[in-house]
Amino acid sequence: MCGSGTTIDVAKELNRKVIGYDLNVVRPDVVKNDSRKIPLQDNSVDFVFIDSPYSDNIKYSDDEKCIGKISCEKTEFYDELEKTASEIARILKPGKVMGWVIADQWIKKKFTAVGFLMWQRLEKYFEPMDIVCLTRHNQTSNTGVWHNRARQFNFYLRGFKYLFIMRKPN
Ligand SMILES: C[S@@+](CC[C@H](N)C(=O)[O-])C[C@H]1O[C@@H](n2cnc3c(N)ncnc32)[C@H](O)[C@@H]1O
């Protein structure tokens, strides 16, 4: 789920050996692959970073296998992402770490705690290490207008984007 390949660039800057997979290939060093079946051996990888779809809010591609076509309000969304989680657990070396980015959804006055729901699935395969709350620099909710409205009308700017850091048990 490496999308435009930011993760590949950062890994290279850190002198790591990197493989970036996605269904939607937008540059030559991205390998086309469905995250639910990763073509790597068991216990062979030192680190995994994944920025999965958060719901069906963005159209990533026409590929029917894209998990971003499933709403986070459906159990199926978490079932499909869990298949990816189990693949990550399979390929990681024991004791090694993965980072998973996901965000909550507030749409049409309905809140879905996507982060918590996903965390519950991930706990089946990994031990918790840390949760980092990512700031949303480019999002409309992070502008002065919304900060002022929140103060004036006494509401919270809610819904989080998370970086879950978890370890495969030894
Ligand atoms: C949130 S985006 C990742 C964005 C990326 N971090 C970037 O910097 O561009 C989620 C990605 O998941 C990919 N994706 C969705 N379902 C997939 C699947 N089953 N297997 C592999 N990639 C998938 C989409 O094509 C999309 O690029």
Domain locations in the chain as residue ranges:
6-167
- Given a cut of 80, is residue 118 above it in pLDDT? yes
Domain range 6-167, CATH architecture: 3-Layer(aba) Sandwich (3.40)
Give all strands (DSSP E) within 19-167, no chain letters. Answer: 20-22, 30-32, 45-51, 92-103, 105-107, 110-112, 127-134, 161-167
- Hey, which residues does 49 pair with through a beta bridge? 99
pLDDT band at 156 (very low <50, low <70, confident <90, very high): confident
- 22 CB under 6 A from ligand 1? yes
- 101 CB under 6 A from ligand 1? no
CA of 68 to the centre of ligand 1 (A): 8
CA of 5 to the centre of ligand 1 (A): 10
| Percent of the chain topping pLDDT 70 | 94
CA of 109 to the centre of ligand 1 (A): 26
Q: pTM here? A: 0.92
- 104 CB under 6 A from ligand 1? no
Residue 3 CA, closest ligand 1 atom number: 27
Quick one: average pLDDT of 19-30? 97
